[in-house]
Amino acid sequence: MKGVSTDSVEGENVTLEDLKQKMAEFAKERNWDQFHSPRNLLLALVGEVGELSEIFQWKGEVPKGLPDWKDEEKEHLGEELSDVLLYLVRLSDICGVDLGKAALRKVELNAIKYPVKQCKGSSRKYNHLIKNNSSESS
């Protein structure tokens, strides 16, 4: 969706619900609902993840904030990140999943899976965390 102007106000807080509605309108106006099956949307999402990956491909590690990147490169990055987000939002909608609720629940589940005491400063996966059996309370 490169070069497309939108009627949204720049800088305004955008919600997942806003994006969901915009994507639904976008598809409806073009009679694309017929193509937006869960499988098709998933494959489109994976394709966009590939396009996002291409931006970083062969660059090695890059510093946070991408200070050495040109404006055009950052703009392109924003476009591909958006493509991924928009397909993810659309896929969730078509599957009847409330993505905001599901994501918040997942953060809570991850907090249980990765207790601060056991994983602070560690990149170990949850099943490799060292169990802390001490009875100290916090």
Number of residue whose CB is nearest Mg ion:
83
The distance of closest approach from Cβ of residue 4 to Mg ion in the complex, given in angstroms and rounded to an integer, is 13
Q: How far is the CB of 50 from Mg ion (least distance, A)?
A: 9
CA distance 61 to 101: 33
Give the residues lining the site for Mg ion (CB under 5 A). Answer: 48, 51, 80, 83
Closer residue to Mg ion (CB): 84 or 94: 84
Choose between 55 and 119: whose C-beta lies nearer to Mg ion: 55
The answer for residues whose C-beta is within 8 angstroms of residue 9's C-beta and 6 or more apart is none
Q: Which is nearer to Mg ion, 5 or 13 (CB)?
A: 5
Q: Residue 11, CB half-sphere, CA atoms under 13 Å: how many?
A: 0
Question: Measured from the CB of residue 120, what is the shortest distance to Mg ion in angstroms?
Answer: 37
Among residues 48 and 93, whose Cβ is nearest to Mg ion?
A: 48
136 vs 117: CA distance, rounded Å: 11
Instruction: Compute the least distance from the CB of residue 86 to Mg ion, in Å.
Output: 10
4: Cβ–Cβ under 8 A, 6 or more apart, which residues? none
Q: Which region holds residue 125: left if phi is over 0, alpha if psi is between -120 and 50, else beta?
A: beta
Nearest approach, Cβ of 126 to Mg ion (angstroms)? Answer: 33
Q: Considering beta carbons, is residue 49 or 119 the nearer one to Mg ion? A: 49
Closest CA to 91 of 103, 102, 99: 99
